[in-house]
Amino acid sequence: MVKWEWPAFLQTRGGKWALRMTLVVFALALLLVTAYLAASKKPGFYRRFESMSLAERQKLSGEFVKAVLACYSDIQNSDKWSLYVTDRQLNGWLSTDGSSDMARFLPQEIKSPRVAINGRQIDIVAPISYQSYSAMAHLTGTISVPEPGVIAVRFRSAKLGIYPFDRKQLVTMIRDSLDHPDWQLEQSDEGGDPVLSFRPKIVIDKKYELTVESFATDDEGKCLITGSVTKTKPR
């Protein structure tokens, strides 16, 4: 039986030092790769939507646009409006026709957002990048309308990949980015979860002002938003 021995160089002081440094570098590299993969982890619904064909995503986008046009018809012809869409339709639009529109409104660090609705819970996932750092941001929360015109977003969790992110810090960042004199932004706490409430001013074609009166979701990924229409007075 042949007895294995360390090479002579590795038995010297310099060789042992070189071996330790090599192991340290390897461990650091493995740690960085693991941290990168963990921060870049995509939830299941995001991966499933990525595997969807372009034709199917375009079909879903068309359904979303049709729903928006039906809502626009309500706005023009009634004092009430409603928008009924699914998360799949919204994601279809976000990944095709709406991608360039969203790019104009979102910070350049945020790309390709996707949404999942499960009961009252809403998940928003988007890749983010800042200089050389990149990760998957994953927000979970609920949306309600405590009174006509007021939208309240309750943040139940926030992650970068699998790593938790300070929700209160996140809400402060969102509040600062949405700061508008007419929106009456308020930050509060509900059961330990930060809540951001605001009163957005929604004006269509400079002629119709919309008030959100209800926001409902279900277990099948459907979302129904309803409200009232007020004709603005010409100046």
Query: What's the pLDDT tens digit per position in 30-52?
Result: 444 444 444 456 778 888 888 88
Separation between Cα atoms, residue 235 and residue 233, nearest integer Å: 6
Please give the average per-residue pLDDT across 72-87, as a whole number: 93
Q: According to DSSP H, which parts of 9-53 are helical?
A: 13-39, 44-50
Contacts of 107 (CB under 8 A, 6+ apart): 177
Least confident of 38-47, 190-199, 212-221, 222-231: 38-47
**Residue 25: its pLDDT value, please?**
53
pLDDT band at 24 (very low <50, low <70, confident <90, very high): low
Q: Which comes out higher in pLDDT, residue 129 or 208?
A: 208
Written as six digits, the tokens of 226 are 């309803």
Which amino acid type is present at position 88? R
**Residue 186: its pLDDT value, please?**
86
Helix (H, G, I), strand (E, B) or coil at 169: helix
Written as six digits, the tokens of 144 are 């309600």
Helix (H, G, I), strand (E, B) or coil at 52: coil
Under a CB-based contact definition with an 8 Å cutoff, are residues 204 and 212 in contact? Answer: no
Please give the average per-residue pLDDT across 104-128, as a whole number: 81
Helix (H) or strand (E) run with residue 154 in it: strand 150-160
Separation between Cα atoms, residue 232 and residue 235, nearest integer Å: 9
Helix (H) or strand (E) run with residue 176 in it: helix 167-178
Q: What is the length of the chain? A: 235
Under a CB-based contact definition with an 8 Å cutoff, are residues 77 and 71 in contact? Answer: no
Of 143, 121, 145, whose CA–CA distance to 228 is shortest? Answer: 145
Whether 173 shows a pLDDT value over 80: the answer reads no
Whether 22 shows a pLDDT value over 60: the answer reads no
**Distance of alpha carbon 123 from its chain centroid, rounded?**
7
Neighbouring CB atoms inside 10 A of 88's CB total 23
Phi, psi angles (nearest 5°) of residue 62: -60, -40
Which amino acid type is present at position 235? R
**Residue 175: its pLDDT value, please?**
73
Phi-psi region of 206 (alpha: psi -120 to 50; beta: other; left: phi over 0): left
Q: In this prediction, what percent of the chain has a pLDDT beyond 70?
A: 74
Please give the average per-residue pLDDT across 100-112, as a whole number: 68
